[in-house]
Amino acid sequence: MITQFVERLPAGKSTPDFSRKPMTTNVQEGKKAFFKAMVSGEPPPAVTWTRNKGEMDDQEKYSTRYDKRAQEHVLEVNTKKKKKDFSDNYKCFATNEYGQAVCAVTLNVNYQSFKTIKPKGRYLLFSLFRTVATRKKQLPQQKEGEIDPKLLELLLSAPKKDYERICLEFGITDFRWFLKKLKQIKKEREDDINVFFFIFIAEFSFDMKLRDPNSEVNLYKDGTLIPYDDDKNSKHSLQKTGINYLFSIKDPQREDAGFYQVDVEETNVLTTDFQAKIKNSKVTENEDAVFQCVLSTALNKITWSKEDASLEHGGKYEITISEDKLTHTLRIKDCQMADKGAYYAIAGITSSSASLTVQEKDAQEKVEDGKEGRVGGEGGEDNGEGICDGTGKGNDGDENDEDAQFVRGLSDINAKVGDRAELSCKLNSETSEGRWYKNGKLLTEEEGVKIIKDGACHILMIECCKKDDNAVYRFEAEGRKSEATLNVQDPPRLDPDALGEFTNPVIVRVGDNAEWKLPFSGGAPMNIQWYKNDDDLLPAVNVKIDTSDTESQLRLTKCQRKDTGEVKIKIKNEFGVIEAVSRLIVLDKPTLPQGPVEITESAVTSVEFKWKPPKDSGGCPVTNYIIERQQVGRNKWSNLGEIPFIHSYKDTDVDPGRRYCYRIRAKNAEGISDYLQTGDIPAGYPGPPTAPKVASAFKDCINLSWCPPCDTGGTKIMGYNLEKNKTGTNYWSLVNQNGPITVKDIFEGAEYRFRVSAINLSGAGEPSIPCEAVIARDPKKPPGKVIDLKITSSSYTTLSLAWTKPKEVKGVEDEAQGYYVEIRPIESLEWTRCNATPIRLTSYTVLGLKAMAAYWVRVIATNYGGNGDPRGFDNYIIAMPPPVRPRFKDRNMKTLMVVKSGNTIRVNINFEASPMPDISWIKDGIPLLKHVTITNSDRGSQLLIPTSERSDSGIYMITVKNIVGQESFSVEIRVTDDPKPPGPVELDENIPGTVTLCWAPSPDEKRDDRIHYMVSKRDSFKRTWRTAADNLFNNKFTVVNIMPGREYYFRVFAKNDMGLSPPSESPVFMKALNFESPPSFIIPLKRRTAPEGYECYMSCAVKGDPGPRVTWYHNNISLNTNTNYHITNVCGVCSLLILRVAPKDNGEYKVIIENKLGNAESSMTLNIEPCILENNY
């Protein structure tokens, strides 16, 4: 549906429309659906999409894009989002400012699960590609009164919902009868399938290259989308290997038989066609039969079959393929009666069939011509090229003549309707006779053809080709056959009389209608397009196009002047294209005459002016101009009449001193244009004088002079009006009507402009151009020369000057009010002023000088009285800074640069020197290599190495030298890289408590003299890495303070200016803990004194590993076996107990401890105090 927003479309604009509408789509859940639409309209419309149920804001589910190459608007619906129902009606809107087009489309999403399919049997129709798809048989020719075979094949592979549409396209209206007929045909085809065998899996493969690997590949069975997976265990699977695709059906059943088709998104994968199909063959028993076909696309292999059994190469069957893989041949050896029947050549889903007839030998002898043979053919393209070879042998029973063979077979040709066509072939025998057939029917000359035999050449000539002559022609001679196709082309044709009438221009007035009608003839279908000024004409409000099979009509309503132009029709069909051109002329009144109006004469009694003709004459010539006049100050316009087609007018009926305005209109046969109005034209007024000139100026008066006007207006100049204007105001005041040349009514120091107008009998004319501004002041004397001119600073492009104001000498040299600076290159003779207006300061900087160029320089003082004498230098000045000895600016320049190998090296040296110094770089005392780039300027120098290498390391020195002196600076550049790790680390314990580490040097040690090593360690107690040593320039290091019982880990790093290398780790070092120790006393025995008769306890603490043996002694006599003493040893605490001390126990006690590592002893003295008994009497 198209809605137009405006009542009338502008020229060249159109409402939106769909060139191709989106199509209804059926997809499986989880797949992507694509809707594509092509729109037209001017201006190009904007395309939007909506759906009936819900919004389309989610970009993950809905995405739109515009394909510029295909000029298509695409809506992509991602049905992988299972939470939403995507089955709905979708609408596409194309909108511009003049209208809107709407198109509806339906999306059907199948949400059923495909994993519940249960096998019902184990039988499958034998297929030549190991697939369950039934072979597409060759369509039989339609007989009168029967159903079109193409319609049957189309319906058998189409969904049921499309039956009605397809039947209507073929003119079938009795649907009930046709459906019964279709069911009957299906049943007959199912009954023909009688060869089944047991099979577990069916497969077929094909090669396909995809530009977009993410393209969706869809599989259809009998027009219905079927799901598949990449798992071999699923019912339907599709596996990809390179460009090869393998489709398989697991456990195929009877219902799996059908027509399978592969689509890539919306693009059908077309199969191979037959350029030349196999042909019927007739042989005798024990002879060989040959079937041959030519394909449109090269294939490595096609399938040959007899009825429903495939044929393989070997034994009875010989299958050959040409080098270009287009021609495929099947040879059946030693044919028997059982070999007769239908044979098929199958390429993809396209097939070709032919029958083999085998005659018995006895029956063959009874045949009239007594011949036998076989034929192989190769058809050509539409360009008429092709070959057909025939071979044969045999005899007629009575004669032994040589068999006829084709030297040159028939070739396909193209011919237009009404042209002459000629088919010819050549045999190897001039005596052989033959017959011509058209679509299998014998041809005679009575049917409007000429049959010519010229020796061995046989010619069939058709003088005037008709559409009925489009057929397959065959020539037979002695059992040999050759076929070719005559393609009668019917391009568009136009009747000469109708074409002559069409080419005549169509002339209409504005608002009328214009029509073109052109009959044509030619083969259908016709594509007809109308154009206006090379733009496509589409049906619109004011454009009506009616086209039938034989005629097309264009009607343009309410034509406008801008519609004038070329009208063209292009008629095209598959055979050619033809064009016819006409012209539309729309007549209208002319446009207004073009200005500006030029006044050629303005006298006392006449006024003359001219103009330019109209830009558009309206399609017919301008015949007259209508002139109207109005006196300025009045409202009435007077018609002065019409004048012929000339572009000027002289009005002689004017009054002196009056001003007039004129209107000019153009007239043609269609009407009168709008008017062009002139400005005010005076009659008899004088022209403007020349601009006044200032003769002299003072503070109280200004003297002026001027020249009279060239145009006096036809009368004598009686005087002048002089006007003045003070600068800064817009008011002009009259100085004196008598025209004085001296103006006194002025103010001192004020600036004035003056203009003058001439006066004659008609009055005052136009004023002159104002003169240049003049200041009311007394004249002055020019100033003298400036004093003390000097240069304050200079550079290569600038020069700064300073001077002192000149002295004032009354009556001779007045005060300077400004200064001019002028320069002159030494090679030039002309001075150039640097400042256009005088400067008041006594300093100035000259810019834009050329470096090291020589200039003459001077300064001129000026005032209102004029310029003074110039003051210059005795010598020329060179544009350069003052001489400066080279000096480096940066005081903190680096003397060492470390750069990683492969990185860029940039060394910037800034200096100041004048004049420009000579700069040189050297490396280690020799010139630089070519890969080093040096860039110099007047302020610095840069050394650049884009990709550094280790060989670039060295000391670089720059020398800056000029006429004043020189200066040098050196920088060391080290190009290195991250160091490589040292070699394996070995451990050695030479001294207890220490470990010596030895490692192989890093591979970079030979190339980097600054490489050194760092050792870090970690023990099992602290478990943190600590630096044990750094700045090691050898490959050995001894670690001290190794504690027994701990595991030690060591790392060795190579280290240079870039940093650390990856570590080389040592094996684990473990210091075993030895618990054995010689015996010793922790607490020795101590001296004791005990009273007699009491117990005495003495003890000591010992240690040792293994545990020591303890022996107690009293006065060097062992007590271990003495029962009077109680001796114990508990965990190294040794005790001796004397229950009752007696004087005999007095003496030295000693403990001796010993083990395999040694012994120790401790002794003490026990003193016994006697006990004193007191008498109580």
CATH superfamily, domain at 1077-1169: Immunoglobulins (2.60.40.10)
Domains 493-582 and 787-878 fall in the same CATH topology:
yes
Instruction: Kindly list the distances between the CA atom of residue 611 and the CA atoms of 591, 595, 603, 627, 653, in Å, as whole numbers in the listed order.
Output: 14, 6, 19, 12, 20
Q: How far apart are CA 763 and CA 719, in angstroms?
A: 10
Alpha carbons 531 and 584: distance in angstroms, whole number: 12
Q: Which residues of 185-201 are buried (b: 16+ CB within 10 A; e: fewer)?
A: eeeeeeeeeeeeeebee
Burial class (CB in 10 A: 0-12, 13-18, 19+), 875: exposed
Using CA atoms, how far apart are residues 959 and 972, in angstroms rounded to an integer?
Answer: 15
pLDDT of residue 866: 87
CA 283 to centroid of chain Cα atoms: 64
Task: Please give the CATH number for the structural domain made up of 493-582.
Answer: 2.60.40.10
pLDDT of residue 998: 94
- Domain 985-1070 fold is Immunoglobulin-like (2.60.40)
**What is the topology classification, in CATH, of domain 787-878?**
Immunoglobulin-like (2.60.40)
Question: 452-481 in b/e burial notation, b at 16+ Cβ within 10 A?
Answer: eeeebebbbebeebeeebbbebbbbbbbbb
Write out residues in the chain with pLDDT < 50, as ranges.
Answer: 112-145, 194-196, 363-402, 1174-1177
Sheet strands side by side (includes 995-999): 985-988, 995-999, 1036-1039
One-letter amino acid at 575 equals F
- Superfamily name and number for 2-110: Immunoglobulins (2.60.40.10)
Neighbouring CB atoms inside 10 A of 728's CB total 7
Rounded CA gap, 421 and 855, in Å?
Answer: 93
Pick the CATH number of 274-489 from 3.60.110.10, 1.20.120.420, 2.60.40.10, 2.40.10.120: 2.60.40.10
pLDDT of 157 reads 64
Q: What's the pLDDT at 802?
A: 96
- pLDDT score, position 377: 36
For the record, the structure tokens of 288 come out as 């060989």
**To which H or E segment does residue 149 belong?**
helix 149-156
Rounded Cα distance between 342 and 351, Å, is 12
Two structure tokens written together for 211:
């530009």
Amino acid at 319: I
Paired tokens of 19: 């060139």
Q: Is 1038 helix (H, G, I), strand (E, B) or coil?
A: strand
Phi, psi of 200 (to 5 degrees): -95, -30
**722 vs 689: CA distance, rounded Å:** 11
Indicate the pTM of the whole model.
Answer: 0.35
- Please tell me the predicted confidence (pLDDT) of residue 1053: 95
615: CB partners within 8 A, 6+ apart = 591, 594
Q: Classify domain 123-268 at the CATH class level.
A: mainly beta
Q: How many helices (H) and strands (E) does the chain have?
A: 5, 98
Which of 877, 867, 843 is CA-nearest to residue 784? Answer: 867
Structure tokens at 458: 């046989």
CATH code, 594-682: 2.60.40.10
Where exactly are the structural domains of the chain? 2-110, 123-268, 274-489, 493-582, 594-682, 693-775, 787-878, 884-976, 985-1070, 1077-1169
Q: How far is CA 152 from CA 142, 222, 346, in A?
A: 11, 13, 20
Collapse the DSSP code of 1144 into the 3-class scheme (helix H, G, I; strand E, B; otherwise coil) and give the result: helix
What is the number of other CB atoms lying within 10 angstroms of the CB of residue 790? Answer: 10
CA pair distance 992, 403, nearest whole angstrom: 116
Give phi and psi for 951, each to the nearest 5.
-70, -15
Distance CA 437, CA 473 (A): 6
Region class of 533: left (phi > 0), else alpha (psi between -120 and 50), else beta: left
What whole-number distance in Å separates Cα of residue 867 and Cα of residue 859?
Answer: 11
CATH topology classification for 884-976:
Immunoglobulin-like (2.60.40)
What kind of fold does domain 693-775 have according to CATH?
A: Immunoglobulin-like (2.60.40)
Residue 1032: its pLDDT value, please?
Answer: 92
Q: How far apart are CA 31 and CA 829, in angstroms?
A: 88
CB 1133 within 8 A of CB 1086: no
